[in-house]
Amino acid sequence: MNLTETAGLVGVPIGVVGAVIATLAWRTSAGTRRDQAAAEATRRHREMRPDLAVAIDLRHGPDSGVLAVKLVGPREVERYDWIRVTVRDDKERPPPRTGSGVTLEAQQRQVWGPFWFRPGIEGGSEDHRSAEQGGKAVTDTWLFAIDRVLAPHWYSGGGAAWREDYKGAPMRLRIEVGLGDQSWVELLEIEQPRRSAYEDGGVTVA
């Protein structure tokens, strides 16, 4: 209680003063409980964050393969409800130049990176941009079909230039995993395996 509040109680019956003090104490206690509950919820959310091991498997060749997302942990959670993986573009781009023949919508639809998802397979979306699947238990692995991104027809230098530009570039991902009304997001860059990796039988997610 501050000095202003104390001054305002001068001449007020003791019972009323006691009631005011009790009310202020209750409000303080309620606020403390809310803070403690919020801190506990934050701690639990942090402890329940999924631990992921992610790799690209190109055992069948350099142009198509599997994105493997293994649910390594944590020990506090047995199973998660869903996963959504989205390809992030390699960088932000300014709007197309006027007269280039390229629309802003076409530029934004294009996936700018080495790989995209195969539509209709293992949860892949029609625009190649994302894939979503149901739940998995800890130690299980989600598998997503991926292919090399095709260059848009207006890309300078065509498909050959595109492949050269993205040779060795990482696959940039946004991975969201959900459980009940909670979800966790990871932003990752997954390196492409070396050519010898798929020639030798692919990449194993440990």
Report the b/e string of 121-153 with b at 16+ CB within 10 A: ebbbbeebbbbbbeebebeebbbbbbbbbebbe
**Domain covering 50-199: architecture:** Sandwich (2.60)
- What per-residue confidence (pLDDT) applies to 199? 47
pLDDT tens profile 177-202: 999 999 999 999 999 987 544 444 44
Is the pLDDT score of 165 beyond 60?
yes
